[in-house]
Structure 1
Amino acid sequence: MSHVDPNLRREIFGWHSHRLGMDMPVVRYGHWGPALLLFPTAGGDFLEAERMGLIQAVAHHLFSGRVQIFSIDSINNHAWLNHGVPIHEKARRQVLYSEYIADEVVPHIRGVLQNGSARIGATGASFGAFHAANAFFRRPDLFDTLLAMGGIYDLQPQFLHGFWNDDVYYNNPASYVPNLSEGHAMDLLRHHSRIHLVSSRGQWEHPHLTEHFSHLLHQRGIPHTLDIWGHDMPHDWQTWHRQLDYYLSERWG
């Protein structure tokens, strides 16, 4: 059952990812405009944003062609949220997921856009913001915009419990961003990207996590917006509805 306006273009597709060993569905909302890749929250799936009203909240932007949204599955339940898997295996699966984004999802979206070199946007809330930020900072040649809402940017200590290896380092933005090499990628981040870090001071939110990551970006001279909303904005969907709508209205393009 669809939870969006029946007149909104909505397509479900997907493929079997051999690197992940599972079918990975994708849903596209909208018919035109730049692409925004949407990551689900911790335990969510590719239809979570639709069920929780986020797509309907920004449907007017989709109808107008201001943006089209591609919402994908995570593998959190097979990795970071799977208590039966050792941490090094969780990290290995995160590496595979990052490769899936860069080598499977982005090329497919570029095919839809009929632009083989298009850089796209990335967004997500909560744990989705972590995945959006990781995709963005790992590959600024593929992504030009980041909107991270109520995110975490460091898997320590909640998920890693002191464990460390290269798989963790290269998929933990708070670790590798301070050490990014000068060169083309850093030039893209400093001069050809839009980065919005958004949080609030409402219930269940942890704005200090966003403020700390903003500090790391400042240290590297990476321009960005740090936007902390008020105490009436909880870490919940009603807040993310308003934040995504605002940024698509005022800060997009």
Structure 2
Amino acid sequence: MTNERYLKWYSRELNMDIEMLTYGYQGMPLIIFPTSLGRFYESKDFRLIHSIDWFLKEGFFKIYCIDGIDRLSWYNKHIHPAQRVKNHIWYDLMIYNELAPWAMHETGFGKVAVAGCSFGGYHAMNFGLKHPDRTKYIISMSGAFNIKGRLDGYYDDNVYFNNPPDFLPNAWNDHFRDLFVFLGVGEWDICLGDNYEMADMLGKRGIRNWLDIRPREVHDWPLWRTIFPHYLSMIVNSQV
């Protein structure tokens, strides 16, 4: 795969080391979030990176496969739900204050694209909608976007502002005009309903989006390896 690099640094926002794989030489910076409890090497192992290697060789995109901390946040049943959300907020700040500026500086672009499959789709959607000042494209593949089920009934302002179905209907940002959202999902996907609802909410906010429902496809990597290069080709060809 094109120009694979392993990076590890100490994150001031997280107060811990964070790991990442990058691919490509130049082009639009694209941050990929892992699935539930996934790691930074997941997209390589499941050949998602292989599916877009042509775009890397041609210099259209540079990929940043960041590690996840779901084990410390949303999936950590050993701590109070309020702390789960706070741990995620520090992760969000790491992306916003550390990784995104790094990627933009390295590539010379003023915004990033974000992408993710399954629970990674939540991460991409949440980050992109909260921070459209730094996000040009959101690519969600079989994403589910309501996080409240991970919190045992707990709810506060931090939950609200990290739960897109809650904050999006009341949100407005001038950068929304420059944002485009891909909602890729299978006809038999367990997250199909979430994507219908998200497309409706995005439309009501005036955010351009495409709900792409693939016939006879399910919630799995073969679907994501098919649709991911399609979406990148649309970006490269200025179709969105």
TM-score (norm 1): 0.89
Whether 1:144 and 2:147 are equivalent positions in the alignment is no
* Cα displacement (A) at 1:83: 1.5
Q: Deviations over 1:125-166 (max 9, x none)?
A: 00101000111011101011111110011112x212321111
Q: Deviations over 1:53-79 (max 9, x none)?
A: 111111111111121111101110111
Q: Which amino acid aligns with 1:247?
A: Y
- Match 1:188 to one of 175, 179, 182: 175
SS in 2 for 1:216: helix
| Segment of structure 1 superposing worse, 106-115 or 169-178 | 106-115
What is the aligned partner in structure 2 of residue 94 from structure 1? 88
* Cα displacement (A) at 1:167: 1.1
- Match 2:211 to one of 226, 239, 242: 226
Contact 2:180 2:207 in 1 (8 A): no
RMSD: 1.4
Identity among equivalent positions (%) equals 28
Q: How does 1:115-134 map to 2 (within 5 A)?
A: 115=109, 118-134=110-126
Q: Deviations over 1:7-55 (max 9, x none)?
A: x211111311132121111211011111111000011111110011111
What is the aligned partner in structure 2 of residue 159 from structure 1? 150
Q: Which amino acid aligns with 1:216?
A: M
* Cα displacement (A) at 1:229: 1.0
Q: Deviations over 1:174-200 (max 9, x none)?
A: 11111113xxx2x3213x122111111
What is the aligned partner in structure 1 of residue 222 from structure 2? 238
Q: How does 1:191-206 map to 2 (within 5 A)?
A: 192-202=178-188, 205-206=190-191
State how far apart, in whole Å, the 1-side matches of 2:43 and 2:111 are: 23
State how far apart, in whole Å, the 1-side matches of 2:230 and 2:190 are: 19
Q: Which amino acid aligns with 1:89?
A: Q
Q: How does 1:201-212 map to 2 (within 5 A)?
A: 201-202=187-188, 205-212=190-197
* Cα displacement (A) at 1:82: 1.4
What is the aligned partner in structure 2 of residue 111 from structure 1? 105
Q: Which amino acid aligns with 1:18?
A: R
Q: Deviations over 1:72-112 (max 9, x none)?
A: 01110111111212111101111111111100111111221
Contact 2:23 2:63 in 1 (8 A): yes
Q: Which amino acid aligns with 1:70?
A: Y
TM-score (norm 2): 0.94
Contact 1:199 1:205 in 2 (8 A): no
Where does structure 1 lack aligned partners over 5 or more consecutive residues?
none
Contact 2:126 2:164 in 1 (8 A): yes
* Cα displacement (A) at 1:213: 1.1
State how far apart, in whole Å, the 1-side matches of 2:208 and 2:106 are: 30
What is the aligned partner in structure 2 of residue 14 from structure 1? 8
State how far apart, in whole Å, the 1-side matches of 2:27 and 2:190 are: 32
Contact 2:37 2:71 in 1 (8 A): yes
SS in 2 for 1:92: helix
Q: Which amino acid aligns with 2:205?
A: R
SS in 1 for 2:144: coil
Q: How does 1:41-60 map to 2 (within 5 A)?
A: 41-60=35-54
- Match 1:64 to one of 40, 53, 58: 58
* Cα displacement (A) at 1:205: 2.6
